[in-house]
Amino acid sequence: MSYEQQLDATFSALADPTRRAILARLATGEASVQELAEPFAISQPAISKHLKVLERAGLIRRGRDAQRRPARIEAKPLQEANMWIERYRALWEANYARLDSLLDELKAQQPKTKD
């Protein structure tokens, strides 16, 4: 999968609040489908569909442990998405810094008034 395709898959998977909640739960440790389904008012097959989306995006990995198939979070796609976001955060911070400088210059040019 190319870098752009990976970003698309990551952001697409993160667009759903249930999948974000699943990732938040997996950030605390691996869990089975049943464990992941507990806090939601949806079926285990629906949770399985969400897990497949997360797995295709590379955000989770599913293993085998006897009868269990625990899921665990994978950090790399989230790190890449964070790096992409950080580029734009740095751009906006630079723009805000220039705006702050301009506002400071304008304040300095205003005549002082006595109260």
Residue 20: pLDDT above 80?
yes
| Structural domains of the chain in order of their starting residue, each with its CATH number | 3-109 (1.10.10.10)
| Sequence-ordered list of residues with C-beta below 8 angstroms from that of 84, at least 6 positions apart, any chain | 7
4 or 114, which is more confident = 4
Sequence-separated (6 or more) residues with CB below 8 Å from residue 97: none
| Interior/surface letters 73-95, b for 16+ CB within 10 angstroms, e for the rest | bbeebbeebeeeeeeeeeeeeee
| Mean pLDDT of the residues in the chain | 91
pLDDT band at 115 (very low <50, low <70, confident <90, very high): low
- Whether the Cβ atoms of residue 14 and residue 82 lie closer than 8 Å to each other: no
- pTM, to two decimals: 0.75
pLDDT digits (tens, 9 = 90+) for 83-96: 999 988 988 998 99
pLDDT of 67 higher than 90: no
